[in-house]
Amino acid sequence: MRLALLSDIHGNPLALDAVLADIQNQGEVDGYWVLGDFAALGYDPVTPLEKLVALPQASFTRGNTDRYVMTGDLPIQPERVLQDRTLLPQVIEAARSFSWTRGYLSATGWLDWLMNLPLEVRLTLPDGTRVLGVHASPGRDDGSGIQSTHSDNQLERRLASCEADLVLVGHTHIPLDRQVGKRRVINLGSISNPITPGLQATYALLDANEQGYRIQLREVDYDHEAVIKAIKSSRHPTPSFLIGFMRGERISSSDPGFFQAGRGAEKPKEKEATNISKQG
Residue 106: band (very low, low, confident or very high) from pLDDT cuts 50, 70, 90: very high
pLDDT average, residue stretch 11-17: 98
Domain that holds residue 183: 2-279
| Cα separations in angstroms, 131 against 138, 168, 208 | 11, 8, 11
* Sign, Cα dihedral of 142, 146, 149, 152: positive
Closest by CA position to 5, among listed 37, 29, 39, 40: 29
Q: In a 3-state reduction of DSSP, which class is residue 9?
A: coil
> Domain of 82: which CATH number?
3.60.21.10
Rounded to two decimals, the pTM is 0.89
The mean of the pLDDT values for the chain is 89
DSSP 8-state class, residue 1: -
- Taking each helix axis as running N to C, give the angle between helix 239-246 and helix 224-233, from 0 to 180 degrees, rounded to the nearest 10: 180
Residue 79 reports pLDDT greater than 50 = yes
CA–CA distances in Å: residue 264 to residues 151, 255, 260, 267 = 18, 4, 8, 9
> With 80 as the cut, is the pLDDT of residue 150 above it?
yes
User: Using one digit for the tens of pLDDT, what is the confidence trace for 221-264?
Assistant: 999 999 999 999 999 999 999 999 999 998 844 344 444 433 33
| Cβ atoms 38, 16 nearer than 8 A | no
What's the whole-number mean pLDDT along residues 105-126? 97
Per-residue confidence (pLDDT) for residue 84, from 0 to 100: 81
| Domain count along the chain | 1
pLDDT band per the 50, 70, 90 thresholds, residue 279 = low
Task: Check pLDDT > 90 for residue 16.
Answer: yes
* Residue 141 Cα to chain centre, angstroms: 10
pLDDT in tens, 175-227: 999 999 999 999 999 999 999 999 999 999 999 999 999 999 999 999 999 99
Question: Residue 119 class from Cβ within 10 Å (0-12 exposed, 13-18 middle, 19+ buried)?
Answer: middle
| 11 has pLDDT over 90 | yes
Residue 175 vs residues 20, 126, 171: alpha-carbon distances, Å: 18, 25, 10
Cα–Cα distances (Å) from 168 to 139, 171, 209, in that order, read 12, 11, 18
Checking if the pLDDT of 91 tops 90, the result is no
pLDDT at 13 over 80: yes
pLDDT at 114 over 60: yes
Identify whether the C-beta of residue 38 lies closer than 8 Å to the C-beta of residue 8.
no
